[in-house]
Amino acid sequence: MLIGVPKEIKNHEYRIGLTPAGVRELVEDGHQVLVQQDGGEPIGFEDAEYLDAGAEIVASPQDIFARADMIIKVKEPQPAECKLLRPGQILFTYLHLAPDPEQAKALLASGATCIAYETVTSAGHGLPLLAPMSEVAGRMAIQAGAHNLEKAQGGNGVLLGGVPGVEPAKVLVIGGGVVGINAARMAMGMGADVTLLDRDLGRLKELDMIFGGRLKTVYSTKEAVERYALEADLVVGAVLIPGASAPKLISRELVGRMKKGAVMVDVAIDQGGCFETSKATTHQEPTYVVDGVVHYCVANMPGGVARTSTIALTNATLPYAVKLARAGVSAALEDDQYLRNGLNVHAGMVTHPAVAEALGHEYVEPMAALARKPLERCA
């Protein structure tokens, strides 16, 4: 298969879809890989490394999209990239379609087969291609939160871990998944007073066994969210429903009653955000203030540590890319029910139930959709 890796064009996005090591694995498996010129240069992956791995360096994204059977990216395709997709082409990347009807419309019109990293599952009901970026984002949430608690950044001037004789900051983590556990671990490591809310009692018991009394685990109710949000210096929103829009767990009214200078980090912003006052921001302008509360809602947080993130992401996505390249999309998805859960759009049809519900589209079962002939690109 001919695989294309274009340079990312989203604001302050420095990751790339494959490392040179990932390219080498695909080439040695018998595939051809096109990498856009200087695509990895911002994070220290030079064109020479990709050439040594067996890739062909291509000057323009137009050439990559025109030639490749499968496009491997990091972030959702931007409007200019959506126009380059074609019927029958495979797009393998993060999509986060539920809060993004315009992107969904463009992908449906393209006729392409779009597999979303964030809805690929595992036997244990995990999200193996979301997990590495969730680990990064969870840890970055505390890093960003601590920085924005500084008075010069608009925060209330509280040091996350305190000092002898001064109590530490109170941190609330909402959600006990991969993001939440990594955020809690980082916050506790910095000496903060950490409370984690979740509705899964089994998960709370597991976290209690791991961390003991260092982490306060509380069953999540509206009353608990309100109580601990009002006490918090830093709130991390870490709630995810695969493929669906994130639930709004903190209302505008509650934000208005929180501590002035408190910081809210919404890691769920890719899925629309879990705070009512959330709106997507960028690494260039990461924060804004609502009712005296600092909001950090960067939609591609792991892009801030792009080299670490690219290596971690390639480690996770490479086995699936190899499977798709070897077998072709229909055979690969028929053989692997967990990879099949990643199929969001195919030939003008929405093939993930949560995405279809969120966007108000008809849901077509993946294998039924794949059995249909590819559409011509819609006008």
Catalytic residues, by residue number, are: 96, 270
Task: Residue 127: name the closest of 338, 340, 357 by CA.
Answer: 338
Helices 201-211 and 178-189 pack at an angle, to 10 degrees, of 30
Helices 131-148 and 306-327 pack at an angle, to 10 degrees, of 160
**Inter-CA distances, 227 with 265, 266, 276, 290, 293, Å:** 18, 18, 17, 19, 16
> Coil, strand, or helix at residue 115?
strand
> Could you give the residue ranges of the DSSP H alpha helices within 200-336?
201-211, 222-231, 252-255, 306-327, 329-335
Using the CB atoms, write b or e for 181-214: b if 16+ within 10 Å: bbbbbbbbebebbbbbbbeeeebbeebeeebeee
* Tokens standing for residue 45: 């992956």
Q: Answer whether 37's CB lies under 8 Å from 47's CB.
A: yes
> Coil, strand, or helix at residue 307?
helix
What gap in Å lies between CA 245 and CA 269, rounded to an integer? 9
